[in-house]
């Protein structure tokens, strides 16, 4: 009985060791989907309880086509940090990037309930919605973030940038004008606006 228990305890370690052995240059040339899943498995083995990491593992599993595993991670993440808006946002991003729009929007709604005052998470989520091709939903959420703090020029620039890269110039103009009114003497803001147009709104590197 003890021997059996020892064997069972050793199993995860064995799989870890096997995975380590397999991670040479050749293995990284393999199928991208399988690699995404395998790397997420490995990361999860090393740190299984962090809510944000769990949401990120879920995203990799979803991209790898392993929806059941992804949902398992998302559920654990929700249990671990139910009030953390960013956890819900990360779950939403995972769904939106893999074209599960309804699930993505549900996670965005959960985010707003979990922490109705997290303007930064709202802004990041608005950017995510814009990138996912949902401009109306994005605008509505960004409006909510702006009401919470109209003086936050960084959030206005970040969202305006996403509008610009999606080709919504009028919307971008609205948010850039708001940013410039929020802090007209801030050189970083003017610089950020110039660079947003220089890069056509591409994500900053």
Partner 1 sequence: MRALLPFACATLSLCAQAPKPAVVFDEAFFAGDRRAILEGCADRARAIKPKDAMYLAECGRAYLAAMDLPRATEAFKEAESREAKDGQVLRLIAQAWLRHGYKSEALEGYEKIAVRDPKNKEALAQTAVDLAEVGLANESERYMGLVASLDKDGWERFLAFGRALLVAGQRKKAAAWFARAAALKPNEEKLFLGMARAFAETQSLM
Interacting residues toward partner 1 by CB under 8 A: 20, 23-29, 32-33, 35-37, 39-40, 42-44, 46-47, 53, 56-57, 59-60, 63-64, 97, 169-170, 172-174, 176-177, 180-181, 184-188, 190-191, 193-195, 197-199, 205
Tokens encoding 73: 């991670």
Which is closer to partner 1, CB of 5 or CB of 170?
170
Q: Are the beta carbons of 191 and 204 closer than 8 angstroms?
A: no
Which is closer to partner 1, CB of 114 or CB of 196?
196
**Least CB distance to partner 1 at residue 167 (A):** 13
Q: What is the DSSP letter of 31?
A: -
Which is closer to partner 1, CB of 4 or CB of 46?
46
Which is closer to partner 1, CB of 14 or CB of 113?
14
**Least CB distance to partner 1 at residue 97 (A):** 8
The torsion region of residue 167 among left (phi > 0), alpha (psi -120 to 50) and beta comes to: left
**Least CB distance to partner 1 at residue 45 (A):** 8
Closest CA to 91 of 139, 131, 48, 57: 57
Please name the residues in contact with 52: beta carbons below 8 A apart, sequence gap of 6 or more: 77, 81, 84, 86, 87, 90
**Least CB distance to partner 1 at residue 101 (A):** 17
**Least CB distance to partner 1 at residue 123 (A):** 18
Tokens encoding 175: 């948010």
> Can you tell me which residue has the tokens 């769990």?
54
Which is closer to partner 1, CB of 32 or CB of 113?
32
CA 125, CA 162: separation in Å to the nearest integer?
11
């Amino acid at each position: 009985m003890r021997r059996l228990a020892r064997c069972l305890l050793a199993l995860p370690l064995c799989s870890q060791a096997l995975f380590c052995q397999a991670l040479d240059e050749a293995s990284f040339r393999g199928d991208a989907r399988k690699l995404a899943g395998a790397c997420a498995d490995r990361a999860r083995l090393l740190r299984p309880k962090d809510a944000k990491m769990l949401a990120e593992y879920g995203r990799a599993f979803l991209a790898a086509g392993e929806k059941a595993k992804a949902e398992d991670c998302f559920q654990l993440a929700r249990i671990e940090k139910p009030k953390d808006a960013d956890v819900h946002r990360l779950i939403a991003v995972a769904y939106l990037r893999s074209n599960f729009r309804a699930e993505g929007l549900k996670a965005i709604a959960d985010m707003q309930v979990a922490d109705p005052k997290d303007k930064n998470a709202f802004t990041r989520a608005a950017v995510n919605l814009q990138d996912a091709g949902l401009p109306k939903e994005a605008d509505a959420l960004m409006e909510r973030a702006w009401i919470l703090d109209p003086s936050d020029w960084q959030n206005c620039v970040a969202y305006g940038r996403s509008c610009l890269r999606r080709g919504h110039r009028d919307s971008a103009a609205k948010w850039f004008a708001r940013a410039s009114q929020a802090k007209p003497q801030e050189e970083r803001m003017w610089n950020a606006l110039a660079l947003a147009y220089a890069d056509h709104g591409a994500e900053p590197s």
